[in-house]
Structure 1
Amino acid sequence: MKHFSRTSVKQWGIRLFCGGLLSSLVSCAASPPPPEEGTVEFWTMQLQPQFTEYFNDLIADYESQHPDTEIDWVDVPWSAMEAKMLASVSAQTAPDLANLNPTFSALLAGRNAWLNLDDRVSETVRQQYLSPIWDASRFQGQSFGIPWYVTTRITIYNRQLFQTAGIDRPPATYAELAQLAKKVKDKTGKYAFFVTVVPDDSGEVLESLVQMGVRLVDDSGKAAFNTPKGKAAFEYWVKLYRDGLIPRDVLTQGHQRAIELYQAGELALLTSGPQFFQTIANNAPDIAAVSEAAPQITGDTGKIAVAVMNVVIPKDTDNPEEAIDFALFLTNPENQLAFSKATNTLPSTIETLQDEYFQTATDDTTQVDDARVISAEQLQRAEVLVPPISNANELQRIIYDNLQAAMLEEKTVEQALSDAEAEWNSLTR
C-alpha cells in the first residue's frame, strides 16, 4: 500500500474507500478491549437495528452447537468502520472476524493484515461459493476473505417515458444506451440516465470501462488503460456529455442525484439494486407504478458487475480456528438463504442460488420479485470488475479527474489518458 488520500466512506452496497490514515488514527474512537479466550469478536457494518433479531438468533444457534465458544457481536456504523478497522489493525486489537468488502480489505491485504485462508479452508468448502466471487477476495495469489452477501445492479426503467419516446425495450448495451439517450432527449426533453463521475462516489463508470473491454492495470500494477479501447471508452462518455445527453451535474453530484431525478420522473432509467423498488414505492408511488426491471447494461464483453461483502480474519487473532468456523457457519448455504430473504440481497453460495426463491418470477410476482430473479440470474456470470488492488480509490480518482477534464474540453481524450497513465504509474513505482 502506497497512499491514503481520501476519508470518505460510501454506501456498503457499492464500495468503501480508505484514506487519511494518520488523521483517522488520531480521531477515531478507542478500540474495544480484546475479547476473552474462547470469545470470537465479530464486527458487522451498520446491520443494527434492522437485522438484530436475525443475528441474535444466528448467534444463539451457533453457540448452542459450540458451547465452548461465545460470539461477541459488535455493529459499527458505516462512517466509523474505516477508521476503527485501521486503528485496530495498527494496534493489533482487531476483532477476530470482520465484515468488510474486497476493495477496502484489499487495501489492508497489502499490509499483510489478514489471515491467508488457502491452507485453512479446504477446496471442497471453497467450491461451495461462486468462483469469481471467491476470487474477489484474493490478493497477490492468496485468499484473504470469505464471500458473504452480494448485489448486482439492474436497470430500473420508466415504462411511460419509454412509450412517449417511442422505445419498446430497455437497452442491453452501452451502444444501445447512447441511441436511447438521444431519443429520450429529442422526444421528451428529459434525460435517459445519470451516471456520476465524482471521484469518491459510484464506481459505475470505472466498471463500464472494463465492460467495454478496457484492462485497468497489468500484472505488475501499471496502467493498462491507455489503449485504443481505453480511448473509445473515454470518447463514449465525453461525447454523451458534450452532446448534452447526460446532465451537467454528473461532474458534481453523486448517485443520490440519479435517485432524486428518477423519482421525480426526470430520468428514463436508473441503475441500482433490486431493493430500490421499495424506496420508489415509498417516495414516489406514481413513478413506482410505471417502473419495471431489466438486466444490467453492459459492453461488448458482456461482463456483469457485482458488489461483494466478505468476512476477513485478522492475522493477529488469538482464535483463528473459531473465527473461521463461525465465518463458514455465517456464510453456509442455509444461513445465506435466510439472510438473503431478510435483506433482499444475493448469496455467494451456489446451492443457495438454486433455491426457488431466486428462480421464480411470474405475472403475479411483484416488482421486487422480478428484480431479484433478474439480479440472481446475472450473478451466475458476474464478477468484481475492478481488481483488488491496495489503492483502487486512487485509480478511480485519477481516471475520473482526467475524464472530467476531457468532458470540459480542458484536455483532449488522448491527453487525458496519457496524464492518467503517468499519474497512476508514478504512484506504483
Structure 2
Amino acid sequence: MRTAPMATRRSHRAGYWLAWLLAVVGFMAPISGCTVNPARQEADGIIELEFWSLQMLSFKDYMTAMIADYETAHPNIRIKWVDVPFSEGEKKAISSMLAQHAPDVVNLNPNFSALLAQRGALIDFRDYLSPAELSAYVPVTLQAASQYNGQKETLFGLPWYVTSAITIYNDALLPAGVGGPPRDYPAMARLAKQVHEQGKGYLLMPTLANGGQFFKVLFQAGVPLVDETTGRFVFADHGAGQALAFWVALFKSGVIPRESLVEGHQAAVDRYQSGTLGLLLTGANFLNMVRENAPAVFQTTRVAPQFPEGGKGVDFSEMILVVPKRSAHPKEAVAFARFVTNAENTRRLTQLAPVLSPNKAVLQLQAREHPALPTQAGSDDHAPEPLPPVIIEASQLSARQLLGAQATMPVLPRQNELNQRMDYFVQQALLERLTPEAAMAQAQAAMNGLQ
C-alpha cells in the first residue's frame, strides 16, 4: 500500500526511534514480568480505556461516532481517544512502554510493532480470540501482524485498514499494439528497451536500493527469504543473485534512470505525472493525485495487476491495533480493538477513504462494488462524487488481489538494520563493484551475522 490518506507509511524518523528502542532494551527486556498499569477505574465501576490512533483527526466524526456506539453498547466502558501525529507515534509508543500509565490500544505499523512484540511488550491476540473470531479477517492481513517467537506463532496486532499496490501505467507511452504492461520479466526487459528507444522517457523507475525494497522484489519473484525452521536468511541460496542480475542488466543498459539508485518512490511519482514514466507500482489512491495534478496523463492512465502476475505474494501495507502488556484491562482492550476492526466499522472507513478492509466480507464487497467517495472525507456538506471508471477498476482490482493473496512478506526482526544492509549490497551490484551473486551472498552473510 503504498500510501493511504492516513499514515500508512513508516515515519522517516523510524530508524532513529528504532535505534533508541534498542538502546533502552536492557531496561525493557523484562517488561513481560513488570507490574501492569494501575487500573484506570472510577468508583462507580466505570473502566477507562485509552486508545491512541495515528493521524486520524481528518476522520474525527467517524471516530467519535464509533466510540459513542461502543460506549452505548458497553455502559461500564469509557474510551479516552488520543490522536497522535504520525511523526511522533513510535516515540510515544516507546515512552508509553516504559511508563506506569500505558495506553490500552495503540495504532502502529507491523514492523515497529514486531520489535515491541519481540521484547515482550505486547499481548498475543491468540490468547484472547478464538480461531472462529479471527477467521473474519483476510488471512494475509493476520500474517502481516504475526511472528514466530521460537515456540509458537504470535499475533501481536489486529489489522485495521490496508492498501494494496497495483500497476498504474500510461498507455500513451507504450508502443502501439502492446496492449498493456508486461506480465513477466522477459516482457519487462523487452518493453523497457522499446520505450526508451522511442525517446519519450522510461518504462519504470524501481527503487531497488531504497528502504529495503529489494526484499519485496525477491518475495514477489518467489525467492524464499528465511528458512522457517532455523530463522536464518537463505535468499542467496535460492536465486537472489539471478533476480538481482536481471535488474543490474537493465540498469547497466540505461533503460532505467540512473537516479533510481539514490532517489525514492516520490521521484518516480513525479516522473509519472510529468508524462515521462510508463508505469508505477503504487496504491490505487495515487490515481486521485494524478487526476488532480496531471489531467492529461490521467486521461491515458490504465491499471493492471501487480508485476509479476500470477505470484502467490501481494505487495500491501496495513496499519494495526496492538495492546501493550502493561494495560490494566487487556480483555476489554482486545474487545474494543476487535470492535474497531470489525466489518461494520471498517466498512464505514472504506466509504470515507481509499483503503481496503481487512474483513473478508467487506473486502468481497469492495472487489465488486462501485465506490463513490465524498469530496471531503468525513463531511456531509457535499454529495458523493461519481468516480471515473479507471478509479473504480483500480479499487476493485486492489481488493481482488488481496483476497487472492496466499502469502505476505514475513515480519523480519530488526527490519531497519536489514534494510540498510540490503540497500548497500544492491547498490554495490548496480555500481558493478560486486557481481549480483556476490552481492546477495554477502548480504545474506551480513544479515545472518545480526542474529
Task: Tell me the alpha carbon deviations over residues 212-236 of structure 1, each in whole angstroms, 9 at most, x when there is no partner.
Answer: 1211122323221112511111111
TM-score (norm 1): 0.89
TM-score (norm 2): 0.84
Q: Is the 8 A contact 1:263 1:283 kept in 2?
A: yes
Equivalents in 2 of 1:83, 1:364: separation in Å?
A: 38
Tell me the equivalent position of 1:208.
217
1:231 partner letter: G
Tell me the equivalent position of 1:13.
8
Task: Tell me the alpha carbon deviations over residues 275-311 of structure 1, each in whole angstroms, 9 at most, x when there is no partner.
Answer: 1111111111111111111111126744222212111
In the TM superposition, residue 190 of structure 1 has moved relative to its aligned partner by 0.9
In the TM superposition, residue 14 of structure 1 has moved relative to its aligned partner by 4.2
Tell me the equivalent position of 1:319.
329
Tell me the equivalent position of 1:394.
417
Q: 1:18 to 1:390 in 2, by over 3 A?
A: farther
Match of residue 227, structure 1, among 218, 237, 243:
237
Match of residue 359, structure 1, among 355, 368, 376:
368
Tell me the equivalent position of 2:378.
none
Task: Tell me the alpha carbon deviations over residues 178-204 of structure 1, each in whole angstroms, 9 at most, x when there is no partner.
Answer: 22211111123410011113433xx54
| 1:168 and 2:140 matched | no
In the TM superposition, residue 270 of structure 1 has moved relative to its aligned partner by 1.1
Q: Per the alignment, in what secondary structure is the counterpart of residue 180 of structure 1?
A: helix
Equivalents in 2 of 1:22, 1:209: separation in Å?
A: 26
In the TM superposition, residue 99 of structure 1 has moved relative to its aligned partner by 1.2
Q: Is the 8 A contact 1:308 1:384 kept in 2?
A: no
Match of residue 109, structure 2, among 84, 101, 121:
101
Equivalents in 2 of 1:296, 1:136: separation in Å?
A: 18
Tell me the equivalent position of 2:27.
none
Task: Tell me the alpha carbon deviations over residues 33-69 of structure 1, each in whole angstroms, 9 at most, x when there is no partner.
Answer: 9883211111111122x21111111111111111221
Equivalents in 1 of 2:116, 2:18: separation in Å?
A: 12
Q: Is the 8 A contact 1:307 1:384 kept in 2?
A: no
Q: Is the 8 A contact 1:296 1:304 kept in 2?
A: yes
Match of residue 259, structure 2, among 238, 244, 249:
249
| 1:63 and 2:65 matched | no
Equivalents in 2 of 1:35, 1:84: separation in Å?
A: 20
1:254 partner letter: G
1:358 partner letter: A
1:185 partner letter: H
Tell me the equivalent position of 1:36.
40
2:52 partner letter: W
Tell me the equivalent position of 2:193.
182
Q: 1:384 to 1:71 in 2, by over 3 A?
A: farther
Q: 1:426 to 1:333 in 2, by over 3 A?
A: same
| 1:90 and 2:101 matched | no
Q: Is the 8 A contact 2:170 2:302 kept in 1?
A: yes
Tell me the equivalent position of 1:78.
86
Equivalents in 2 of 1:155, 1:145: separation in Å?
A: 29
Q: Which runs of 5+ in 1 are unaligned?
A: 1-10, 27-32
Q: 1:174 to 1:150 in 2, by over 3 A?
A: farther
Equivalents in 2 of 1:21, 1:145: separation in Å?
A: 18
Q: 1:35 to 1:262 in 2, by over 3 A?
A: farther
**Identical-residue share of aligned pairs (%):** 36
In the TM superposition, residue 397 of structure 1 has moved relative to its aligned partner by 1.8
Equivalents in 2 of 1:325, 1:180: separation in Å?
A: 51
Tell me the equivalent position of 2:168.
156
Equivalents in 1 of 2:128, 2:422: separation in Å?
A: 38
In the TM superposition, residue 326 of structure 1 has moved relative to its aligned partner by 1.0
Q: Is the 8 A contact 1:98 1:311 kept in 2?
A: yes
Q: 1:78 to 1:364 in 2, by over 3 A?
A: closer
Instruction: Map 1:42-61 onto structure 2 (within 5 A).
Output: 42-48=51-57, 50-61=58-69
Task: Tell me the alpha carbon deviations over residues 383-427 of structure 1, each in whole angstroms, 9 at most, x when there is no partner.
Answer: 663311221222222122101101101111222122212211111
| 1:144 and 2:153 matched | no
Q: 1:328 to 1:21 in 2, by over 3 A?
A: closer
In the TM superposition, residue 327 of structure 1 has moved relative to its aligned partner by 0.8
Q: Per the alignment, in what secondary structure is the counterpart of residue 52 of structure 2?
A: strand
Q: 1:325 to 1:23 in 2, by over 3 A?
A: closer
| 1:269 and 2:245 matched | no
Q: Is the 8 A contact 1:212 1:299 kept in 2?
A: no
1:211 partner letter: Q
Q: 1:248 to 1:24 in 2, by over 3 A?
A: same
In the TM superposition, residue 130 of structure 1 has moved relative to its aligned partner by 1.2
| 1:375 and 2:393 matched | no
Q: Is the 8 A contact 1:108 1:390 kept in 2?
A: no
Q: Is the 8 A contact 1:153 1:296 kept in 2?
A: yes
1:89 partner letter: M
In the TM superposition, residue 342 of structure 1 has moved relative to its aligned partner by 0.9
In the TM superposition, residue 382 of structure 1 has moved relative to its aligned partner by 2.5
Q: Is the 8 A contact 1:45 1:77 kept in 2?
A: yes
In the TM superposition, residue 352 of structure 1 has moved relative to its aligned partner by 0.9
Tell me the equivalent position of 2:429.
406
Q: 1:93 to 1:181 in 2, by over 3 A?
A: farther
Task: Tell me the alpha carbon deviations over residues 62-102 of structure 1, each in whole angstroms, 9 at most, x when there is no partner.
Answer: 11111221111111122111111112113354311011122
Tell me the equivalent position of 2:206.
195
2:198 partner letter: K
Q: Is the 8 A contact 1:46 1:77 kept in 2?
A: yes
